[in-house]
Structure 1
Amino acid sequence: MGDTRLIHGRYRLLELIGRGGMGEVWRAHDESLGRRVAVKCLKPLGMQREETRSGVLRERFRREARVAAALQHRGVTVIHDFGEEDGVLYLVMELLEGRNLSQLLEGNKHHPLPVPEVLDIAEQVAAALAYCHEQGIVHRDLKPANIMRLADGTVKICDFGIARLGHDIGFTARLTGTGIAMGTPHYMSPEQIGGGPVDHRSDLYSLGCVLYEIATGAPPFDLDDAWAVLVGHRDTPPRPPGSHRPDLPEFLDRVVLDLLAKTPEERPADARDLARRLAAGHPAGHRPEPVLHTAAGQPVPRAPRLPSWTRGMTTGHKAAAASTSTLKATPPDPSAGLTGAWTTSEVRRDRPPAPERPTPPPELLGALTGRHNAGLGLARLGRWEDAGEVHRGVAAEREHLLGPDHPDTLASRFEIGFTLSRTGRAADALREFGRVADGRERTMGADHPETLAARQETAYVLGQLGRHFEAHQVYSAVLAARARTMGADHPDTLRCRHNLAFNLGRLGRLEDSYRMAHEVAEARARVLGPDHPDTLVTRYEVAYALGQLGNWTEALRTYREVAAARTRALGADHPDTLAARYEVGISLGRLGRSTEALELYRSLVDDRTRVHGPNHPETLRARHGLGVNLGRLGRWEEALAEARDVCAIRERVLGHDHPDTLVSRREVAVGLGWLGRWADALTVYRQVAEARERVLGADHPDALASRGDEAQCLEQLGRGREAVEIYRRVAALRRRA
């Protein structure tokens, strides 16, 4: 392709500027837009591969390139275009003028970089990683050669997402004879070396290796033998970087060692947390400035440092009457993104301007940011009540300092609504989300993504409250706005369509629910990939709709495909994988294949017990399915024993009147009835009916079904007159309901 000098009739190759394991990089000219670009030509797929396999990989390349091209952050190299020419895949990127960190170290004769420069690089890379990780993208091959420092001091991560492309296409991550993935050994995380699951914390480990090297002049395990390097990462604690360099600040020494923790759980929670720690490690306004270099390595003078929250902003037109003498230097803001003062894209002329508020101290805003993120961490651990308390406190202080409609105040309010919806307080959550949505609409506009996110949560909570028609109206309005402003295939648009499909099922519109879920699943497979978790969630919903429509054969096939894909993408023990296997068992039972279902549930009980413990609700749900299928096979003594055991554990763990406990208690009654012990069965059926009436109300469908069970049991005992009275009462309640 290089011989033609012109790619796609548009990109003219001018000069080879790099060659590596993934291909060649050329300086090029975009003849359509008249700009300089870099073109990376990736290695061919290889003629020995089957044509169908190559087609799959090409499609994966296009999908991953689209995802990488969607990244828009000052710290990430921009991808302009991608395609294929003469069998060679190529990417068109912004052309960067500067030097990567490897070149900086070489130019410095492998002496460590100045501490201010190390800190500045660390902060900028952490910000870029935080943004990309929040988009769900992991770099997988972070190293000094992939981090560029430009002449103006900007730091950019190169090849974000391209390392994953290389892995998918098959020309990176070569395997040694022992099966160890050979990427770049000096910067690989222990989980990469062991072939385990890799998430954003693997990038944090690699960043720790990079910071260690630029701070000390050598990587943490500076050995010639690749295997020894890998063993070092896996088994050997690194020497503190401060032992190589006494002038290294103690807090930076601690941060790097935390990044190099052997297990992901011991590292910082995420890159945002890392950025906060770096910002908090030096006194505001007293940090020395890093030295900048030209592309040739010469130091350049630096303009006064702007606050950290201005990073990524573009400068607008200067006001004609502005006086530079009125501008004052602003110290760096350790809150890393909270400004105190803020503007919107539109001024509401029908409302008087809000009173001016004094800018809060950056240290106070930073502390509130830390508390906000602590609340998010509690929520990730499932501690919803504790998270709600934290967010309520932060929201009150932010409202006092910043105002009720400040984006940060509304962000805290949003999280309050989220915790309320997850703790069964749907009505309170609805009020909170409505308040957030109204505030965001006033300050950001009706179609702003944050406004639409709050509206979408109101629809979700309306569904929790059983107000499915109102939820349908809100989902439909949000979907129209998302499609108009973001496009039909944007992940947020597809998420809204997924929720709308789910809600259609709750409205009884099963055919519409199935049709929309099927369309969303196909779109997500096209945009995100067939094995992406979001795609599989929607395919799971497709299977559920098929079951509701009575098409259990197709439901079984779809659930099995989802379970297999989740095993590949998430692992065999992931809760979502195990949930799909449970639904496979349900489908087998519905098809009368109880022997197969029984074997599946035995295996699932073992796996749930190993992963979650014997008393976990999901373990008990699997045991319940096992007992049901024992009954379907006529093994009623075993079924009754299983139901009694599960019921006793659920009562102890979940409570006497918990819905799952009552389901198990009813299964006990079913077993007693099949064994001819109708008097005992009647006692249990009545207990279930009374509990459901007490908890749900006498006219709830589950309570009415339990009274129907009681009446059938009375008929078996020859007490027909009592049974008729119950049937009449149930019929009257149904009519009233």
Structure 2
Amino acid sequence: MAETRLIQGRYRLLDLIGRGGMGEVWRARDESLDRQVAVKCLKPLGPQQGDPGIGNVLRERFKREARVAASLQHRGITVVHDFGEDDGVLYLVMELLEGRNLSQLMDDGGQGPLSVPDIVEVTEQIAHALAYTHDQSIIHRDLKPANIMRLTDGTVKICDFGIARLGHDVGFTAKLTGTNIAMGTPHYMSPEQIGGEPIDYRSDLYSLGCVLYEIATGAPPFDHGDAWAVLLGHRDTTPEPPRSKRPELPEFLEQIVLDLLAKSPDDRPGDARELAHRITAARGGTLAHPAPAARVPAQPTKPAELPDWTRGMTTGPKATGAVDLRAVPLDAAAGLTGEWISRIDGRRTPDAGQPRRPERSTAPPELLSVLATRHTAGLSLSRLGKWEEAVEVHRGVAAEREQALGADHPDTLASRYEVAVTLSRTGRPADALSEYEHVVRGRERALGADHPDTLGARQEIAYVLGQLGRHFEAHEVYTAVLAGRERSPDLGPDHPDTLRCRHNLAYNLSRIGRMEEAHRTAAEVAEARARVLGPQHPDTLVTRYEVAYALGQLGRWPEALQTYHEVAEARGQALGPDHPDTFAARYEVGISLGRLGRSADALALYRDLAADRARVHGADHPETLRARHGIGVNLGRLGRWQEALEEASDVCAARERALGADHPDTQVSRREVAVGCGWLGRWEESLAAYRTIADSRERALGAGHPEALAARHDEAQCLEQLGRAAEAAELYSRIAARRGS
């Protein structure tokens, strides 16, 4: 490291002491005040690196969160002296800490827990620090052993306030939706944080409980290798009492840990200050003069039995979260003294049609590390639903990977693949199709036509073709991909990816009207997924949902009702009663009941569903209004037309406010209003509603579209009911002419 480089003409970087996903930590000298400090530098992600989207996001959030961190003044929190930007590098100047984090302290003892006096001392100090920050309305969000330092003088400090939150927002965690799992290391996340619900200071208390459990027993409360099992543990499972793993722990400490790990925030200690008082009171009693305790090595424990349906899910790393503080050799021109991103020319690609392994890259490791971090940041933006920002990140990374590694390198193609994913999610399927086709060509050249990655990209082509309404072409691609997956020695007919392709094939068959084949294929996939993944695995339930849809389209409504009902119950158990997928299955149960003429049962179901949707999502959420629409429809079927009209009118007005006057859902509700008015003999109002619908559909779809013509036909029938036969006849003639043209 050359000593000629200063940050802002003041902070001279001396030694690299840490490197993490977001940047580096340097020991430095503040030449203005002649003191040692730590300087944390975020890897530059600005326009000069060709990636303005994520750079601007990080820059603004860094400055905002750095101000928050700098405002905290407490003995138990790392002091932030200064922050800013120097030549495109964001930096944070902090006090230089001499000590080790809790993960490292446990590593010192061979993965063993801390002594009881140490646990109590650490807990008390953390509680006081959290009480202070919570009083400032600041939540850490990422409390874990690696973010808690014990200094050589015994002081305990919480690190990365603000910066931890920045990492949470941009790069490391995501909301649990659908059948996806929260990314990152969820071992210290509260149930409400995992579920994407609003969090408050009590989420930090839960995370603290996880930390205390680990330093007391040697492992987090739910230390499964399977990420789904960890999430389910936080949500559903009562943790084993710490004393069952380490009997000498005092009862008061065990009770504190279990109280902190309460599933409901309301059942946890009132606040961190209350926790500190409990620890202080206990120290004054049973631990007034604790005898030195020997470090107890962690005892191996048999992994907890997991539900069958967790088999085959992605395994997450153990949540140590520790940053490697060993010195990292650097080129003299690297880091902050030179270019973070270098360029490499002279790429060579494989001969056409000859798959081969990519040559070993000569790109600097620093470059590859930076690009990998930015790629991960782009993925996290996608998981947060920030698709427009994500696509800009992946475009930038793809361009730099192509220049450094070559167009057909797997990493380059992985970035191009993510560009396609984000384009698809932002309503640009045609652009996504072009990107996927590029990825397929590159992977065929580099990896071969039947490589799993090549097949995966071709399967996405089929999906996008479906988005474009080109279902027959999609069918051909799905069929070819399925054949490749089934003959691949790495996949085979029962591999999860093969079953996913067969599921998509069944879905597409139903969209081209081949319902018998769709039902047969979906039933076979559901049976295979139940055998391979378990009957309650989310993927199994998705396919059973498709089986129910096909049964309904075939007119086999009793079977469809039974299947939808079973899916709804299973999803309630596996995903929770308030999960969107559970709600969706309950909605389809209502549809099936209506088809079978059981309108009273359907009405009761939709009332309950609308109440649950309103509680979870709000009264004006589109899905709440969809359930309320079902209420109105079934009131009409029961002949309760005045109530049906009132419900339909309320839903129509709410949909118009939330979705717009011309939205299809608004028009569906307006038609229910028109139908209700007709049944009540209020034909003038019915006529006005049908005309509004017809005008809207003509604007959106064209005058000759079947839905627009149907609305005009309803308008003509109203004219007949009003005795305006000549107008009705003229309108019928116009409808016939448009149909003929």
TM-score over 0.5 for the alignment?
A: yes
Work out the CA distance in 1 between the residues paired with 2:326 and 2:726: 83
Whether contact under 8 Å (2:352, 2:445) holds in the other structure is: no
Please provide the CA RMSD for this pair.
4.9
Find the aligned partners of 2:321 and 2:345 in 1 and give their Cα distance.
20
Q: 1:619/1:135 Cα in 2 relative to 1: closer, same or farther (>3 Å)? A: closer
In the alignment, is the contact (CA less than 8 A) between 1:185 and 1:230 conserved in 2? no
In 1, distance between residues paired with 2:345 and 2:250? Answer: 51
Matched, 1:387 2:415: no
Per the TM alignment, residue 459 of structure 1 is displaced from its structure 2 partner at its CA by 0.7
CA contact (8 A) 1:201 1:270 kept: no
Written as runs of structure 1 = structure 2, the 5 A alignment for 1:286-685 is: 348=351, 359-485=362-488, 486-685=491-690
- 2:329 is matched with 285
Look up the equivalent residue of 1:230 and give its one-letter code. Answer: L
Who is 2:693 aligned against?
A: 688
- Cα offset, 1:673, TM superposition: 1.6
Give the whole-Å Cα distance in 1 for the aligned partners of 2:222 and 2:725.
Answer: 67
Deviation at 1:189, TM superposition (A): 5.7
Q: 1:393 to 1:106 in 2, by over 3 A?
A: closer
Residue identity in the other structure for 2:660: G
User: Of residues 217, 233, 248 in structure 2, which corresponds to 1:186?
Assistant: 217
The one-letter code sitting in structure 2 at the alignment partner of 1:708 is H
For residues 135 and 685 of structure 1, what CA distance do their matches in structure 2 show?
42
Given residue 446 of structure 2, which amino acid in structure 1 is its aligned partner? Answer: T
The change in CA–CA distance for 1:711 and 1:388 in structure 2 (over 3 A counts) is farther
Q: Give the structure 1 partner of residue 258 of structure 2.
A: 230
Give the Cα–Cα distance (whole angstroms) in 1 for the partners of residues 415 and 358 of structure 2.
Answer: 22
Assess if the C-alpha contact under 8 Å between 1:357 and 1:402 holds in 2. Answer: no
Which residue identity does 2:487 align to in structure 1?
R
| Letter in structure 1 aligned against 2:323 | L
Structure 1 residues 196-275: aligned runs within 5 Å = 199-200=230-231, 223=250, 226-227=254-255, 229-231=257-259, 233=261
Shift of 1:710: 2.4
SS class of match (2:323): helix
Q: Is the contact made by 2:440 and 2:454 (CA closer than 8 Å) also made in structure 1?
A: yes
Task: Give 3-state SS (helix, strand or coil) of 1:676's partner.
Answer: coil
User: What amino acid maps onto 2:470 in structure 1?
Assistant: R
Distance change >3 Å, CA 388–CA 647, structure 1 → 2: farther
Shift of residue 109 of structure 1?
11
Aligned to 1:62: none
Q: Counterpart of 1:312?
A: none
In 1, distance between residues paired with 2:486 and 2:359? 37
Does the Cα contact within 8 Å between 1:669 and 1:680 map onto a contact in 2?
Answer: yes
CA distance in 1, matches of 2:638, 2:485: 50
**Partner in structure 1 of residue 288 of structure 2:** none
The alignment partner of 1:278 has SS state of: coil
Change (3 A) 1:669 1:554: same
* Shift in Å, 1:703: 2.6
Matched, 1:704 2:709: yes
Q: CA deviation at 1:589?
A: 1.1
Q: State how far apart, in whole Å, the 2-side matches of 1:658 and 1:418 are.
A: 26
Q: 2 CA distance for matches of 1:606 and 1:422?
A: 30
Once the two structures are superposed, residues 423-478 of structure 1 have per-residue CA deviations (whole angstroms, 9 ceiling, x without a partner) of: 22221221121111112111111111111111111111111111110000000000
Distance 2:682 2:612 in 1: 34
Do the aligned partners of 1:188 and 1:233 also contact (CA within 8 Å) in 2? no
- Give the whole-Å Cα distance in 1 for the aligned partners of 2:496 and 2:404: 34
Deviation string, structure 1 residues 267-311 (Cα, Å, up to 9, x no partner): xx99579799736x6653279xxxxxxxxxxxxxxxxxxxxxxxx
Structure 1 position 639, deviation (Å): 1.7
Unaligned residue ranges in structure 1 (runs of 5+): 1-99, 113-117, 120-128, 144-181, 210-217, 240-268, 288-329, 332-338
Task: Compare 711-720 and 401-410 and name the one that shifted more.
Answer: 711-720
Return the alpha-carbon distance in structure 1 between the equivalents of residues 535 and 215 of structure 2: 29
Partners of 1:342 and 1:406 within 8 A in 2 = no
Unpaired runs of at least 5, structure 2:
1-105, 119-144, 147-171, 189-212, 263-267, 277-313, 336-342
Structure possessing the higher relative contact order (Cα contacts under 8 Å, 6 or more residues apart): 2
Match of 1:150 in 2: none
Q: 1:558 to 1:273 in 2, by over 3 A?
A: same
How far apart, in 1, do the equivalents of 2:508 and 2:614 lie? Answer: 33
- 1:678 deviation in Å? 1.8
CA distance in 1, matches of 2:454, 2:358: 24
The structural deviation recorded for 1:538 is: 0.6
Residues 355 and 385 (structure 1), Cα distance of their counterparts in 2 relative to 1, 3 Å cut: closer
- The AA in structure 2 aligned to 1:472 is H
Q: CA deviation at 1:631?
A: 1.4
What is the count of residue pairs matched by the alignment? 489
Query: Do the aligned residues in 2 keep the contact of 1:689 with 1:706 (CA within 8 Å)?
Result: yes
Q: Distance in 1 between matches of 2:379 and 2:470?
A: 28
Question: Aligned equivalents of 1:108 and 1:658: distance in 2?
Answer: 61
Counting aligned pairs with the same residue, the percent is 59
Q: Distance in 1 between matches of 2:369 and 2:663?
A: 42
Q: In 2, are the aligned partners of 1:186 and 1:229 still within 8 Å (CA)?
A: no
**Which amino acid is 2:517 matched to?**
D
Please state how far the C-alpha of 1:398 moved relative to its aligned partner.
Answer: 2.5
Residue by residue over 1:42-73, the C-alpha shift from the partner in whole angstroms, topping out at 9 and shown as x without a partner, is xxxxxxxxxxxxxxxxxxxxxxxxxxxxxxxx
Determine the C-alpha separation between the residues in 2 that align with 1:531 and 1:271: 21
Does structure 1 retain, via aligned residues, the 8 Å contact 2:357–2:447?
no
On the 8 A contact 1:416/1:432 being kept in 2, the answer is yes
CA distance in 2, matches of 1:593, 1:612: 28
**Aligned-partner residue type, residue 600 of structure 1:** L
State the 1:203 CA deviation: 9.2
Deviates more, 1:687-696 or 1:493-502: 687-696
Alpha-carbon distance change, 454 to 627 in structure 1, aligned in 2, over 3 angstroms:
same
Counterpart code for 1:437: V
Single out whichever of 661-670 and 518-527 deviates more from structure 2.
Answer: 661-670
CA distance in 1, matches of 2:671, 2:218: 57
CA separation in 1, counterparts of 2:690 and 2:635? 20
Secondary structure of the equivalent of 1:596?
Answer: helix
Summarize the Cα distance change of 1:569–1:106 in structure 2 as closer, same or farther, 3 Å threshold: closer
Q: Using the alignment, how far apart are the partners of 1:270 and 1:530 within structure 2? A: 20
> Does the 8 A contact of 1:189 with 1:233 survive in 2?
no
Equivalent residue number for residue 169 of structure 1: none
Quick check: 1:392–1:412 contact (8 Å CA) kept in 2? yes
